[in-house]
Amino acid sequence: MFLRPGILTVLAVAAALTFASGPAVAQEAMLQCVPYARQVSGIELYGDAHSWWQQADGRYERGKRPVAGAVLAFKPYRSMQLGHVAAVSKVIDSRRVLLDHANWSPINGRKGQIERNVLAEDVSAANDWSEVRVWYSPIGGLGTTRYPVHGFIYPQGRRPGQLQTPPVQIASADQPRGPLTRAERKAQRQAEKDARKRLKQIEKQRREYAKYLKRQAKSQRQSAHTSPHDAPPRLEADPIGDLIGRVGG
């Protein structure tokens, strides 16, 4: 019995779809923070997140200065007894970075999800990144919980003192730089557009968080002036402490 080429093509597509359904089920498994941080940073450490700081001693440089590509190592805190690790995707300034990490915010009600370029802010008195607040997706902002942090673990060649500044490109008379191509101009405009959009998002996050702090301060002042016979005003729940505390790292 011979099959026409068209029928063979249909059968091949059907078989591919059948075999493709297997990995889709596997993707539903919860992704932990450790394997994801290892994958994106290239730091070859294993075990629970809380052990990474000690494991890195003698193997990787450690410090208090944020650098893109480094891993921020969290200490165990409250219900997050296994700690947490997150990779720095971008340094905004001395107090703010963007993180790539897994299993922090539940996305669409599911834990073990990946989040990219989320805001983390240093709230330590000495600006040494010993305490941070981290963006939490369900509330669309930072919370009041101050998470204790060990510091940053730097991949090989990424320690702050080893970072090399790209050489300054100086145009010479014998090698003039021609006008940008159409594709280059388009890419440049898109990059500028993306940067402006991200900055707007960050500023919006900061404004929302400032409003949250004002509401908390107002509730606390009202509570201080409440007589013993009156019911105290209800404070807003700490969105990070109450929610992430139950999720863990």
Residue 30 has pLDDT above 60, yes or no: yes
Give the pLDDT score at 108: 85
Average pLDDT over residues 132-138: 93
Domains parsed from the chain with CATH numbers:
27-160+197-225+235-249 (3.90.1720.10)
* Mean pLDDT score across all residues of the chain: 76
Q: Using 50, 70 and 90 to split pLDDT, how confident is the model at 157?
A: low
Given 3-state DSSP classes, what are the helix, strand and coil percentages for the chain, each rounded to the nearest 5?
40, 20, 40
CA distance 206 to 187: 29
Q: What is the pLDDT of residues 87-103, one digit of tens each?
A: 999 999 999 999 999 99
Q: E strands along the chain, which residues?
A: 61-63, 71-74, 84-91, 96-102, 114-122, 131-134, 147-154
- For the ranges 11-15, 33-37, 191-195, 245-249, the lowest mean pLDDT is seen at 11-15
Q: Which two tokens stand for residue 52?
A: 């990474």
Give the pLDDT score at 18: 38
pTM of the model: 0.56
Is the model more confident about 161 or about 101? 101
Give the pLDDT score at 246: 45
Beta strands 71-74; 61-63: pairing state: unpaired
- For the ranges 16-20, 220-224, 233-237, the lowest mean pLDDT is seen at 16-20
Give the pLDDT score at 201: 74
CA distance 151 to 102: 18
Give residues with Cβ within 8 angstroms of 5, minimum separation 6.
none
